[in-house]
A and B are shown apart, each in its own frame.
Chain A
Amino acid sequence: MKILVCISSVPDTTAKINFTSDGKEFDKNGVQFVINPHDEFSLTRAVQLQETQGAKITVVTVGDISVEPVMRKALAIGADDAIRVNADARDGFFVATQIAKIAKEGGYDIVLAGRESIDFNGGEVPGFVAGILDYAFVNGCVGLKVEGNSIEAVREIDGGKETVSASFPVVIAGQKGLVEESELRIPNMRGIMAARTKPLSVVEAEQTSSKLKVVGYVKPASRGNVTLVDKDNVGELVRLLHEEAKVI
């Protein structure tokens, strides 16, 4: 079983988000980058399948050289090798085109990604990969079992859960629940040492055309000051919510 795990390198969840003074770009200055949290759940599930069912794991990231530390972390957690597609990864379709090419050429059985990147919140790449390759697709996956050449996956649906089955090759977009929080791996010394010598190859990107343009960014308007209500006068809160905020 060959698994391709798609890792996107995103600002740490505690990072304050700033934009360049012209508002055209995200300002990376002083920002720490991490494995996209949803991808971490997927990577961990892949490592479990490696341990229990002998899966071989390749990590792929589309990005410039600055994403390599995040890729090394994925190797330290247990991936066998890594491929970096050397390009700026802004456009979802562009990223998916690169991943699809690698997935196909490498003959991967499962492409495991995250539900969305927490930076641009696209939620686009896994679906595009599935569409480009005409593979089965499970989004919002919270449970995955593999047997022979088929999978059984649980996906979140509004107000419930749905169990689906499909045959290889498949694209799966995972999220929390795919493994428990407590099962996530923190790289140990041995893993970190091994990761230094695991293969990380760099390939050039395929060009695509795009009609999507980013005009710019702003921060959301901040809320005014909080109105505090005395804890012995809770009725006042109900009045304010009704008369002032008009939300009840």
Chain B
Amino acid sequence: MAILVYAESQEGHYKKAAFEAVSYAKSIADKSGDTVTAVAINATESSDSLYKYGANKVLKVSSDALKNFSPNSFAKVLAELKDGEIIVLPATNDASSFAPLLALKTNATLVTNLTSAPSNVSPFTAERRAFSGKGIETIEVTEGAKVLTVLQNAFGLKENPVSGTEESANVSVSDADSKVKVVKVEQASSDKIDLKEAEIVVSGGRGLKGPENWGMIEELAKLLGAATASSKPVADIGWRPHSEHVGQTGKAIAPKLYIAIGISGAIQHLAGVNGSKTIVVINPDAEAPFFKSADYGIVGDAFEVVPKLIEEVKKFKGA
């Protein structure tokens, strides 16, 4: 049987989260003896990148009725294409929205925000995020169909090249399936790296004193190919957009590298970033709690340290 994976794309291109979901599905398939089938909705990119992470088959769905996202329509498509016991989705905004609908349609048990490969596939046993990263929960699904969502950047990308095949799939979806009508889409400029997908994140807090000082944060981020983020008060005062706020009440992220500049490290902030692999803290207050949860730290003034860091990164990148 096949494990179905939703290979999410944006403007025709696969998201990193799609490759992570395929990697995760492949890790189950290797244990269960299943194959991996990826479902691509209105993607224009070649399927090669999905084969690289272990997709044996790619089902290409193209439909005008799926041009805009709607939870009901997307759940319907995946339910129709299902041909095994397991469906894997990335824990993106969109996929997290239709996951419960899909679980209902397929009579499946839903498990969200998985962080590691299952230790056992029958019964399915795996770890997931709980208590905003302050705990790890192990769950077991005793039997039956499953819809699983995989936390972004947690399991990561695992290359596993196979020679796959592509097919186009017909689905019976129409505009009438969508219960919501999209009126307007505002997309930030496409050269911005999405915060949840980013491997490196440069983040600023109240220690930066004002929005006019974000230039150096953005410059550092650009040099590192990183996304930018902020603490909550910074978004509340309006220095930065809400969409950049990370933490317990903002986004939860798990990049390879998180650089916190002028952030004290309150427990609610840590809750959103404690999944990061490596944490760097820059803060003049040696007693700032963040240093206790960091891998590397510089006790110093951001206005002195960050420009130097920018120079050093330039040197490193030039080398």
Cα of A247 to Cα of B255 in the assembled complex, Å = 10
User: Are B97 and A234 neighbours in the complex by a CB distance under 8 Å?
Assistant: no
Q: Is A37 an interface residue (CB 8 A)?
A: yes
Given A118-B248, A164-B181, A237-B280, residue A140 in contact with residue B93 (CB < 8 A): yes
The chain A residue with its CB closest to the CB of B308 is A234
Partner pick for A159 among B194, B274, B293, B299, CB 8 A cutoff: B194
User: Are B93 and A217 neighbours in the complex by a CB distance under 8 Å?
Assistant: no
Cα of A96 to Cα of B99 in the assembled complex, Å = 14
Give chain B nearest CB distance to A163 CB in angstroms: 4
Cα of A176 to Cα of B92 in the assembled complex, Å = 18
The chain A residue with its CB closest to the CB of B129 is A121
Given A140-B93, A156-B93, A228-B297, residue A213 in contact with residue B139 (CB < 8 A): yes
The chain A residue with its CB closest to the CB of B137 is A217
Q: When each residue 49-65 of chain B gets 1 if its CB lies under 8 Å from chain A and 0 otherwise, what string results?
A: 00000000000000000
Partner pick for B179 among A121, A135, A142, A216, CB 8 A cutoff: A135
Give chain A nearest CB distance to B299 CB in angstroms: 6
- For B271, the chain A residues whose CB sits under 8 A away are 13, 118
Partner pick for A17 among B99, B131, B140, B250, CB 8 A cutoff: B131
The chain A residue with its CB closest to the CB of B181 is A165
- For B180, the chain A residues whose CB sits under 8 A away are 136-138, 164-166
User: Are A248 and B224 neighbours in the complex by a CB distance under 8 Å?
Assistant: yes
User: Are B305 and A234 neighbours in the complex by a CB distance under 8 Å?
Assistant: yes
Q: When each residue 96-122 of chain B gets 1 if its CB lies under 8 Å from chain A and 0 otherwise, what string results?
A: 111111011100011111000000000
Q: Is B133 an interface residue (CB 8 A)?
A: yes
- For A156, the chain B residues whose CB sits under 8 A away are 93, 243
A residues 136-164 touching B (CB-CB < 8 Å): 136-140, 142, 152, 155-164
Which of the segments B28-36, B141-149, B156-164, B204-212 contacts the partner chain?
A: B141-149
- For B309, the chain A residues whose CB sits under 8 A away are 234, 237-238
Q: Is B183 an interface residue (CB 8 A)?
A: yes
- For B279, the chain A residues whose CB sits under 8 A away are 223
Interface residues on B, range: 35 or more
B residues 51-83 touching A (CB-CB < 8 Å): 68-69, 71-72, 75
Q: Is A54 an interface residue (CB 8 A)?
A: no
Partner pick for B295 among A164, A217, A223, A248, CB 8 A cutoff: A223
Given A237-B309, A248-B257, residue A127 in contact with residue B93 (CB < 8 A): no
Given A128-B104, A156-B243, residue A163 in contact with residue B179 (CB < 8 A): no
Cα of A214 to Cα of B268 in the assembled complex, Å = 25
Which of the segments B19-27, B38-46, B165-173, B185-193 contacts the partner chain?
A: B185-193
User: Are B100 and A127 neighbours in the complex by a CB distance under 8 Å?
Assistant: yes
- For A190, the chain B residues whose CB sits under 8 A away are none
Give chain B nearest CB distance to A218 CB in angstroms: 5
- For A130, the chain B residues whose CB sits under 8 A away are 71, 100-101
A-B CB contacts (within 8 Å), total count: 262
The chain A residue with its CB closest to the CB of B185 is A162
Give chain A nearest CB distance to B181 CB in angstroms: 5
- For A214, the chain B residues whose CB sits under 8 A away are 137-140
Q: Is B313 an interface residue (CB 8 A)?
A: yes
Partner pick for A13 among B267, B280, B291, CB 8 A cutoff: B267
User: Are A19 and B316 neighbours in the complex by a CB distance under 8 Å?
Assistant: no
Q: Is B222 an interface residue (CB 8 A)?
A: no
A residues 168-212 touching B (CB-CB < 8 Å): 175-177, 180-182, 210-212
- For B256, the chain A residues whose CB sits under 8 A away are 247
B residues 296-311 touching A (CB-CB < 8 Å): 296-301, 304-305, 308-309, 311
Give chain A nearest CB distance to B232 CB in angstroms: 8
Given A161-B186, A211-B143, A226-B291, residue A231 in contact with residue B296 (CB < 8 A): no
Cα of A78 to Cα of B42 in the assembled complex, Å = 45
Partner pick for B134 among A136, A155, A166, A219, CB 8 A cutoff: A219
Q: Is B242 an interface residue (CB 8 A)?
A: yes
Q: When each residue 3-35 of chain A gets 1 if its CB lies under 8 Å from chain B and 0 otherwise, what string results?
A: 000000001011011010000001000000000
Q: Is B135 an interface residue (CB 8 A)?
A: yes
The chain B residue with its CB closest to the CB of A150 is B181
Interface centre among A14, A127, A238, A242 (most CB of B within 10 A): A127
User: Are A217 and B297 neighbours in the complex by a CB distance under 8 Å?
Assistant: no
Cα of A217 to Cα of B130 in the assembled complex, Å = 9
Q: Is B312 an interface residue (CB 8 A)?
A: yes
- For A248, the chain B residues whose CB sits under 8 A away are 200, 224, 257, 313, 316
- For B92, the chain A residues whose CB sits under 8 A away are 158
Give chain A nearest CB distance to B191 CB in angstroms: 11
Partner pick for A162 among B182, B291, B299, B315, CB 8 A cutoff: B182
* 24 contacts across the A-B interface (CB closer than 8 A): A13-B271, A118-B249, A120-B137, A124-B99, A126-B100, A130-B101, A132-B104, A136-B72, A136-B179, A139-B71, A160-B185, A162-B182, A162-B186, A163-B184, A211-B142, A211-B144, A212-B109, A219-B135, A220-B136, A226-B292, A231-B300, A234-B305, A238-B316, A248-B224
